[in-house]
Amino acid sequence: MSGRRFATRAVHAGLEPDPSFGGVVPPIHQASTYVQPSPGEFVGDYDYSRSANPTRSALERALGEIEGGLASAFSSGMAAEHAVITAAAAAGDHIVLPNDLYGGTYRLVDKVLKRWGLEYTMVDQTDLTALAAAVTDDTKLIWVETPTNPTLNLVDIEQVIAHKRNALVVVDNTFATPVYQRPLELGADAVIHSTTKYIGGHSDAVGGAAIVREQALHDAIRFVQNSIGAVPGPLDCFLTHRGIRTLHLRMAAHSENARAVSEWLKDHANDVRWPGFSGMVSFRHANAAQIASRCRVFSLAESLGGVESLIEVPQAMTHQSVEGSAAAVPPDLVRLSCGIEAAEDLIDDLAQAFGV
């Protein structure tokens, strides 16, 4: 599908007809091990499903095609993050983090990898002077979120790359998706996804992915993937791959609903943010917890990116782990993941929750 437009690539990515019966969708290979023709001789790459599985391979091909690189699939976004960081950096190395980031990323680096000697600096990556001061010749990796989670700031990926020195630039593309942003095409070295979110899109499969430009980094990540074993099961791979085929349609609906909701919120809340694409909206309100609890169409739940709308208060939910750090979020911040329901119903739900 090289040279085809994104919608065509999304529909066909990673799909090869079933060689046995011609099914347009390959079967789920729910196998843990594979018969070898002779000792040490494999059919393809398949000896044991921690190392490789045909259903996972199809998903990885699809993810690589839509992001423009070499993909590895994981059992969660955090497993993908761990693999990329540990493949690129070692004890005593330095990385740069944004000061507005997903709480799980901060927890992984500060509470786990820091204990093994990894050093980090947090910086506002929208401030290029501050970013340049944080990056040294010894910095191994710059971690980028754009839009950021949860306050939806936009970071200029190309400007980060211009200040990277010798570091790898890794972009969490979960919120934007390759529909709106393809960091590898801008010069980034790696892209991370929680495929649980928009890529899968139906809140029924947890997963993650790392997609890179260079074969050497891909091989290093594959080594960690196989060694640690945080791989997704075949059914989760199948569901995630199925989600990719409607990604471009869903993202258009998410974005239109978020636009409508953010326009309404401007008259009823403070600091309303929508990056201009995707379904994520944030705002601040003194009655944040009460509003979140009163919603009926928006479900009060963590996560995002599914076809159903979600509402959360990050300080009490997804971002508890950043309390007391430079990435702490205010208690009056509300994050919305606008689904694909009727926009009018989403606005009506917020109106009754606000009491207007």
DSSP class of residue 111 equals: I
1 occurs within a structural domain: no
199 occurs within a structural domain: yes
Q: Is 172 an annotated catalytic residue?
A: yes
Q: Is 34 an annotated catalytic residue?
A: no
State the catalytic residue, choosing from 140, 164, 197, 273. 197
pLDDT of residue 18: 84
Specify whether 115 is located in the same domain as 186.
yes
Specify whether 284 is located in the same domain as 184.
no
pLDDT of residue 318: 87
Beta strand pairing call for 139-145 and 94-98: parallel
Specify whether 207 is located in the same domain as 348.
no
79 occurs within a structural domain: yes
Q: How far is CA 73 from the centre of its chain?
A: 12
Q: Indicate the residue among 179, 210, 244 that finishes a domain.
A: 244
78, two tokens = 């955090």
206 occurs within a structural domain: yes
Specify whether 144 is located in the same domain as 117.
yes
Domain that holds residue 18: 6-244
- Euclidean distance between CA atoms 237 and 136, whole angstroms: 39
With H, G, I as helix, E, B as strand and everything else as coil, classify residue 112.
helix
Specify whether 202 is located in the same domain as 278.
no
Burial (0-12, 13-18, 19+ Cβ within 10 Å), 19:
exposed
Neighbours of 166 (CB within 10 A): 10
pLDDT of residue 197: 98
Q: Is 102 an annotated catalytic residue?
A: yes
Amino acid at 307: V
User: What share of residues in the chain are helix, strand, coil (percent, to 5)?
Assistant: 40, 15, 45
pLDDT of residue 52: 97
Note if the bond before 183 is cis, omega within 30 degrees: no
93 occurs within a structural domain: yes
Specify whether 262 is located in the same domain as 206.
no
Give 199-258 pLDDT, tens digit per residue. Answer: 999 999 999 999 999 999 999 999 999 999 999 999 999 999 999 999 999 999 999 999
- Euclidean distance between CA atoms 134 and 130, whole angstroms: 6
Give 44-102 pLDDT, tens digit per residue. Answer: 899 999 999 999 999 999 999 999 999 999 999 999 999 999 999 999 999 999 999 99
State the catalytic residue, choosing from 93, 100, 110, 172. 172
323 pLDDT more than 80: yes
Beta strand pairing call for 208-212 and 190-193: antiparallel
Q: With bands split at pLDDT 50, 70 and 90, how would you rate the model's confidence at 155? A: very high
Tokens 């969490």, located at residue = 172
Give 170-188 pLDDT, tens digit per residue. Answer: 999 999 999 999 999 999 9
CB 108 within 8 A of CB 120: no
45, two tokens = 């790459």
Specify whether 87 is located in the same domain as 204.
yes
Q: Which residues of 93-126 are buried (b: 16+ CB within 10 A; e: fewer)?
A: bbbbbbbbbbbbbbbbbbeebeeeebbbbbbbbb
Q: Indicate the residue among 244, 276, 299 that finishes a domain.
A: 244
Average pLDDT along the chain? 96
Q: With bands split at pLDDT 50, 70 and 90, how would you rate the model's confidence at 3? A: confident
Residues with Cβ < 8 Å from 44, sequence gap 6 or more?
52, 54
Q: How far is CA 176 from the centre of its chain?
A: 8
151 occurs within a structural domain: yes
CB 167 within 8 A of CB 142: yes
Question: How many domains is the chain partitioned into structurally?
Answer: 2
DSSP class of residue 199 equals: T
111 occurs within a structural domain: yes
326 pLDDT more than 70: yes
Specify whether 253 is located in the same domain as 205.
no
Specify whether 61 is located in the same domain as 164.
yes
Specify whether 235 is located in the same domain as 254.
no
Specify whether 122 is located in the same domain as 253.
no
- Euclidean distance between CA atoms 70 and 64, whole angstroms: 5
Q: What percent of the chain has pLDDT over 70?
A: 99
- Euclidean distance between CA atoms 4 and 317, whole angstroms: 41
1 pLDDT more than 80: no
Specify whether 18 is located in the same domain as 130.
yes
Assign residue 162 the CATH number of its domain. Answer: 3.40.640.10
Q: Is 213 an annotated catalytic residue?
A: no
41 pLDDT more than 80: yes
pLDDT of residue 273: 98
State the catalytic residue, choosing from 50, 61, 242, 259. 50
317 pLDDT more than 80: yes
Q: Indicate the residue among 215, 244, 273 that finishes a domain.
A: 244
Angle CA 145–78–101, to nearest 5: 30
- Euclidean distance between CA atoms 120 and 89, whole angstroms: 11
Please list the residues that pair with 333 across neighbouring strands: 284
State the catalytic residue, choosing from 102, 106, 120, 180. 102
163 occurs within a structural domain: yes
Assign residue 257 the CATH number of its domain. Answer: 3.90.1150.10
- Euclidean distance between CA atoms 120 and 138, whole angstroms: 12
pLDDT of residue 17: 87
